[in-house]
Amino acid sequence: MKHDSFSPLMGLGAALGTLLGLLSCLPVLGATAGLPGQVAPFVAMDERDVKAALALAKVGRGDRLIDLGSGDGRIVIAAAKHGAEALGIELDPSLVIKARRAAERAGVEKRAHFIEGDLFAQDLSGATVVTLYLFPDANLALRPKLLRELASGTRIVSNSFDLGDWKPDAHIKAASSGGLLLWIVPAQLGGAWCTARGERFRLAQKYQVLRLFDAPASLGISASWEGRIRGKELFSEGSEGTLSGRLEGDQLILQASGSSSVKATRC
Ligand SMILES: C[S@@+](CC[C@H](N)C(=O)[O-])C[C@H]1O[C@@H](n2cnc3c(N)ncnc32)[C@H](O)[C@@H]1O
């Protein structure tokens, strides 16, 4: 495996129906398929959808984007043009060469980097945005790695395919495929928490859905609550609006409407 230097980021499967679904929404299949370890063939994303994907993830200066399976480099190059540090991981050496040349032609080679290698071997920590255009089974195989390595608040955009039962935070129409899906990686808040007064309560979490059990008296809400988490922010859904909060460092700050805030740490 050949690694390009990329200091800013370095510290950083399919049923027939699924396959047919992919083929129907991917307009042009590239010539390269079937390299060992290749979990999707090369199909370049429509330029209108590249633009829409970057807008959906609000990519800009200060972002560190990784495109997993970067093809001809168009997402990486577009992100670099938006001021982001961008890295593409691509198994096919001929595509890596093509992408580097395209980055040079676009004058963004200092911010657009490419590694020839297996996307499953790439350390994702440090990324603020991850983009995917892979088969559904590859997305599913990647899911635990995404949840393990990405910091809360990191945006993930996938073209066409979901992440199984991890429901997206947003799903928009795409110009030439099955849509663009966005996930905001949630902070991991499940487990036992204690307030400064020593009151103990429990949070159960599945992806962005959070349930509070044994609500402490100081919080001023009924014994249980269910809401959502977006990055580090907790909120109630619908009209209930009972509880909001945020994770600050290792401190969880919760506030029920009409009550003062309560700080808790893990216990
Ligand atoms: C559908 S194309 C998407 C290309 C690009 N991300 C875009 O949206 O224009 C998928 C790409 O992933 C690459 N790929 C497939 N399996 C891979 C793996 N295990 N590691 C790295 N790249 C891989 C393929 O070679 C192909 O270029």
Mean pLDDT by 10 residues, the chain (267 residues): 34 34 41 78 96 98 98 98 98 98 98 98 97 97 97 97 97 93 97 94 95 90 85 81 90 91 95
Bridge pairing between strands 262-266 and 191-195:
antiparallel
pLDDT of the residue at 241: 61
Q: Please state, in angstroms and as integers, the Cα–Cα distance from residue 54 to each residue in 126, 161, 254, following that order.
A: 18, 17, 32
- pLDDT at position 240 is 57
Residue nearest to atom 12 of ligand 1 (CA): 69
> In whole angstroms, what is the distance from residue 215 CA to residue 51 CA?
44
Question: What pLDDT score does 258 carry?
Answer: 83
**Predicted pLDDT of residue 143:** 98
Q: Model's pTM, two decimal places?
A: 0.87
- What distance in Å separates the CA atoms of residue 249 and residue 230, rounded to the nearest whole number? 16
Are 194 and 265 spatial neighbours (Cβ–Cβ below 8 Å)?
yes
Nearest residue to 98 via CA among 82, 114, 83: 114
- Which atom in ligand 1 lies closest to the alpha carbon of residue 89? 21
Which ligand 1 atom is at minimum distance from the Cα of 38? 16
Domains contained in the chain, CATH given: 7-184 (3.40.50.150), 191-266 (2.40.128)
- For ligand 1, the distance from its centroid to the CA atom of residue 247, given in whole angstroms, is 35
The pLDDT score that the predictor gives to residue 7 is 34
Q: What sign results for the dihedral spanned by CA atoms 11, 140, 76, 172?
A: negative
The predicted structure's pLDDT at residue 18:
35
The C-alpha atoms of residue 100 and residue 267 are separated, in whole angstroms, by 49
Pocket test for ligand 1, best of 28, 42, 77 (most atoms within 8 A of CB): 42
Q: How far is residue 36 from each of residues 32, 39, 91, 92, 117, measured CA to CA in Å?
A: 11, 9, 9, 10, 11
* Nearest Cα residue to atom 13 of ligand 1: 69
**What local confidence, expressed as pLDDT, does residue 111 receive?**
98
Distance 41 CA to ligand 1 centre (A): 6
Q: Which residues line ligand 1 (CB under 6 A)?
A: 32, 37-40, 42-45, 67, 69-71, 74-75, 89-92, 95, 118-120, 133-134
**What does the pLDDT read at residue 33?**
55
The pLDDT value given to residue 138: 97
Radius of gyration of the chain (CA): 21
Nearest Cα residue to atom 6 of ligand 1: 70
Tell me how far the alpha carbon of residue 68 lies from the centroid of ligand 1, in angstroms. 6
Minimal-distance CA residue to ligand 1 atom 11: 69
- Per-position DSSP letters for 19-42, written without gaps between them: HHHHHHH-----S----TT--S--
